Amino acid sequence: MGRVVVEVMPKPEILDPQGKAVVGALPRLGFTQFSGVRQGKRFELEVDGEVTPEILEQARRAAEEVLSNPIIEDVVAVTDASADAAVPQRAGLA
């Protein structure tokens, strides 16, 4: 079974209210080293067979058209994560 991981982050210029709340909470729990937090999303897309270049391309399109909203979010990675132990193959997405 193949797996593609899509990672989406709020755009840098968009204030991330959730990240702001998390960075405010960390010092209260003793984690004082972190000056900023941004919270994004990770999607794991499963396919029955191998992750072919075509499937990776479909995943990229799904990431751009559905899984993210380009007005507020960036797709930061679309990765073939079929073999967990292997180094994930990064698909270059700006």
Partner 1 sequence: MGALNSARIGVVTFPGTLDDRDAARAIRLAGGEPVALWHADADLQGVEAVVLPGGFSYGDYLRAGAISRFAPATASVIDAARGGMPVLGICNGFQVLTEAHLLPGSMIKNDHLHFVCREQTLVVTNANTAWTNEFATGQKITIPLKNQDGQFVADDDTLDRLEGEGRVAFRYDGWNPNGSRRDIAGITNEKGNVVGLMPHPEHAVEPGFGPAAADGPRAGTDGLPFFRSVLASLVGA
Residues that bind partner 1 (CB under 8 A): 10, 13-15, 17-18, 20-21, 66-67, 69, 71-72
The first and second tokens of residue 38, run together, are 């941004």
- Beta carbons within 8 Å of 91's beta carbon, 6+ residues apart: 56, 60, 77, 78, 79, 80
Nearer of residues 13 and 54 to partner 1, judged by Cβ: 13
Q: In the bound complex, what is the minimum distance in angstroms from residue 73's beta carbon to partner 1?
A: 8
- Which is nearer to partner 1, 61 or 90 (by Cβ)? 61
R_g of the chain, CA atoms, integer Å: 16
- Taking the complex as a whole, the smallest distance from the CB of residue 42 to partner 1 amounts, in Å, to 13
- φ, ψ of residue 91 to 5 degrees: the values are -95, 120
Smallest distance, partner 1 to C-beta of residue 63, A:
12
Nearer to partner 1, 18 or 52 (CB): 18
**What tokens were used for 64?**
């751009």
